[in-house]
Amino acid sequence: AEVQQLANEKVRENLEVAWRTTGYQDAVAAGALAFFGDKYGNEVRVVEIKENSDTFSAELCGGTHVHHTGELGFVCLLRESAVAAGTRRIEALTGRGAETYLAEQQERLHRIAGKLSTSTGEIEERIDSLQAELDRLRRQSEQLQRLQGTTVAEALAGSAIEVNGASLVVGRVQVGSPDALKEIADRVRDRLKPALLVLGADIDGRPAFIAAATPDLVDRGVHAGNIIREVARVAGGGGGGRPDMAQAGAKDVALIDAALEAARRLGTAALGPG
């Protein structure tokens, strides 16, 4: 903002712009700024912006061909970026280009204000309000998901079958993320000991599976990673993990139920007499 303000101050002052041709080394030694390095030849064109008897700016010509700064009309900065250590590039529009750009931005601002049902002067406040509402709804959604997770975990625990003194839980759940799937698995495992569980879900059109075993079953040789690898393979996927917890992804959501049927067989075999 400060650079744009200074530039437009000098435009309004309508300072004289002068040119002269000199040697490259002489120009640099005299203080002229060079922005294009070795792209210049031995002889260069120096552009100077005069301020009274002083020189406000002296640079090797980069395409400025006006007699006075006022001919630029207006300078509108677009962006700045780093091009080297200690060197930044500033990109700007001038004259009609700047006018066109600002008109387009103003029109865009009006369209945004219309979509937000507010005035252009209150867009920022409206966005802050919507962000606060979004944060509130997100917290509410997380609370509902936790409540739903508790309910689902209780239902899954109630569906457990006993195999050789341990609980086996296999089920399909509706969740929005792998983390939510793991959270439900943790809750079921906390309710049943000893227990082995395998859960499957369709998350954004992709199968996801998780297997978990309580420590006492791990001591008996149950390996969740080996089970989940075989389960995911049924649905065209793969994965693995630790003996007590493992997750996997797959490709075909139509095969989730078939994979869970395989999980029941694998779980029963893992819990059965050696």
The residues spanned by each domain of the chain are 2-95, 160-271
The Cα–Cα gap between 223 and 143 comes to 33
Domain covering 160-271: architecture: Roll (3.10)
pLDDT given at position 37: 57
What pLDDT score does 38 carry?
58
Q: Is the dihedral of CA 130, 131, 136, 139 positive or negative?
A: positive
Cα separation, 149 vs 197, whole angstroms:
15
Model pLDDT, residue 60: 84
The contacts of residue 185 (CB under 8 Å, 6+ apart) are 197, 199, 210, 212, 245
Closest C-alpha among 244, 182, 241, 186 to residue 219: 244
* Omega within 30 of 0 (cis) for the link into 273: no
Query: What was the pLDDT predicted at 264?
Result: 96
Question: Cβ distance 218 to 207 under 8 Å?
Answer: no
Q: Please tell me whether residue 88 adopts helix, strand or coil conformation.
A: strand
Question: Tell me, what's the pLDDT at 238?
Answer: 84
Residue 228 near residue 210 (C-beta atoms within 8 A): yes
pLDDT given at position 81: 86
Q: What is the pLDDT along the chain (274 residues), one digit of tens a residue?
A: 788 999 999 999 999 998 888 888 888 888 888 776 557 788 888 888 988 878 888 888 767 788 999 999 999 999 988 877 877 888 999 999 999 999 999 999 999 999 999 999 999 999 999 999 999 999 998 788 777 778 899 999 999 999 999 999 999 999 888 988 999 999 999 899 899 999 999 999 999 999 999 999 999 999 999 999 999 999 999 888 999 999 999 999 999 999 999 999 999 999 987 5
Distance CA 231, CA 237 (A): 9
Nearest-angstrom CA–CA distance, 173 and 188: 12
Homologous superfamily in CATH for domain 2-95? Threonyl-trna Synthetase; Chain A, domain 2 (3.30.980.10)
Backbone angles phi, psi at 127, to 5 degrees: -65, -40
Predicted TM-score of the model (pTM): 0.56
pLDDT digits (tens, 9 = 90+) for 181-200: 999 999 999 899 899 999 99
> β-strand 206-213 against 238-241: which pairing, if any?
unpaired
Query: What pLDDT shows up at residue 87?
Result: 78
